[in-house]
Amino acid sequence: MSDLLTRSAHELAELIATGETNSVEVTRAHLDQIEALNGDLNAFLHVAADEALEAAAAADRRREAGQRLSLLDGVPIAVKDNFCTLGMPTTCGSRMLEGWVPPYEATVVARLRAAGLVLLGKTNMDEFAMGSSTETSAFGPTRNPWDLERIPGGSGGGSAAAVAACMAPLALGSDTGGSIRQPGAVTGTIGVKPTYGGVSRYGVVAMASSLDQPGPVTRSVVDAALLHEVMGGHDPMDATSIAEPLPAIVAAAHRRDVSGLRVGVVKELAGDGYEADVEARFGEAVAWLEEAGAEVVEVSCPSFEHALAAYYLIMPAELSSNLARFDAVRYGLRLGDDGSNGMEAVTSLTRGQGFGREAKRRLIIGTYALSSGYHDQYYGSAQKVRTLVARDFERAFEVCDVLVTPTTPTVAFRLGERMSDPMAMYRADLCTIPSNLAGNAAASFPVGLSSEGLPVGLQVVAPPLADDRLYRVGGFLETRLESQGGPLLARAAALPGSKAVWR
């Protein structure tokens, strides 16, 4: 594999800045990798090759003129297909928006362009971000580059698979119940869910507005911090955006020291349902923290046991409201409009054929939870549980600086294995959902491989607006992991029997 493909984004940026390579060469290498692997992985739904090469050439002209827009100027990036992009389709993995090109752009995407990053294209996802495996996409599932018979996580499996397979050094994701962190864990990548409101949601097609949060997907902790810095900050176009400066996340990523840090291990997120390899890698990583001078204690968050049930009432309720805009009138798919049907029939036919099975399931649940006579019983009760989850976090952070848990109870499962069992699928997000309910910062970092050679992730959770703590712990874990046997990509290449696509 080309050295340009395995380099971190910040290393590529420095090579471009010093003239040792150029953005066109880097971009072309990644476009070649996409062409070689996307047929097997289905990570990209749209590849903007010509536009990417034009943007790369512009970056090279800036360098020649002595200009640099940011520390990531000229570096390629992939964008999850629920971010509105000028000049590129935004489908959200659904037939409902097939071929739709937005007339405006997400704030985060505009910030990427302003920082000189090169957009490679749009990545596959579960339909409207509804899923934990990227199997509900109307355009076919994405496959895990570690084993093509396994899922890459969801809903942002396309972004995670693209970064894991070196098709892009960076990617954008969005996290509603774990859609950045869970794919990160099962693909060996780094996925960060910033504090809710820390990164603008303007122009990100809404799933559940009180839960959604954009964030970075990378292979390097410093890369994640640099991308987070470009993405983040207040946006007057987003009413939920926090008018506070970002903490010093890049400096924290470089620190790589956890001495004196108080680390809480969440008692409720372990035991039955957690694979032995996941618990073993998690235990080893906790031991690394303790050996490095962190104070490790067990904490109890009893309301977390009810977080999954609360989430699957709040999320479908907000989803039902947000997806009501897809009515076959204003934009998107329109079926049955031949003059023989009234508007109600056109809307019904369009929604019936335009939405997939999982989307319909969640829409029905959400509509029922908000219906007259049931609102307080279901949606109202779920919001009370949400408050209890937030209070558990508050009490835990009184005695701890960060919390750690497994990111997922299992490693990547096989394609099709859970499609007929929604509850088994939903449990993939068991550890990640509490942070979305509370709005705090959380991230997944690789901590090793299972006995089958599949990645395992550890989740770090920090209080709201303390995102720098995620990067401090993540930087340490990255250094310690590499000292145990090198980067995960290199380990997979050397592993007997490995099914990774880069072997």
The DSSP bridge pattern shows strands 76-80 and 118-123 to be parallel
Cα torsion 195, 198, 204, 205: sign: positive
The catalytic residue among 8, 80, 132, 320 is: 80
In DSSP notation, 408-458 reads SSSSPPBTTSSTT-HHHHHGGGTTTHHHHHHT-EEEEEEEEE-TTS-EEEE
User: Which residue intervals of 133-203 are DSSP H helices?
Assistant: 157-164, 181-187
Cβ atoms of residues 17 and 68 within 8 Å: yes
Q: Where are the beta strands (DSSP E) in 219-368?
A: 262-266, 295-299
Size of the chain in residues: 503
Chain Cα centroid distance, residue 183: 7
Identify whether 340 is a catalytic site residue.
Answer: no
- From the number of C-beta atoms within 10 Å of its C-beta (0-12, 13-18, 19+), residue 479 rates as middle
8 A C-beta contact, residue 205 and residue 359: no
| Catalytic residue (one of 8, 132, 159, 179) | 179
Please enumerate in sequence order all residues whose Cβ is within 8 A of that of 440, keeping only pairs 6 or more positions apart, or say none.
195, 196, 393, 461, 462, 463, 464
Closest Cα partner for 116 from 167, 77, 72?
72
Collapsed DSSP state (helix, strand, coil) of residue 264: strand
Tokens read off for 180: 């950045």
Cα–Cα distance, 78 to 24 (Å, whole number):
16
Which pair of tokens denotes residue 32?
């070649």
For residue 434, give the nearest of 483, 392, 384 by alpha carbon.
Answer: 392
Q: How many CB atoms lie within 10 A of CB 68?
A: 17
d(CA 170, CA 221): 11
Q: Is 159 a catalytic residue?
A: no
CA distance 151 to 153: 6
Active-site choice (8, 133, 155, 435): 155
Helix residue ranges per DSSP H, 215-306: 221-231, 249-255, 276-291
Distance separating alpha carbons of residues 434 and 3, to the nearest angstrom? 39
80 part of the active site: yes
- Residues 6 or more apart whose CB falls under 8 angstroms from that of 201 comprise 209, 212, 213, 214, 238, 240, 241
Among residues 171, 176, 259, the alpha carbon closest in space to that of 212 is found at 176
Are the beta carbons of 42 and 134 closer than 8 angstroms?
A: no
Q: Which residues are the active-site residues? A: 80, 155, 179
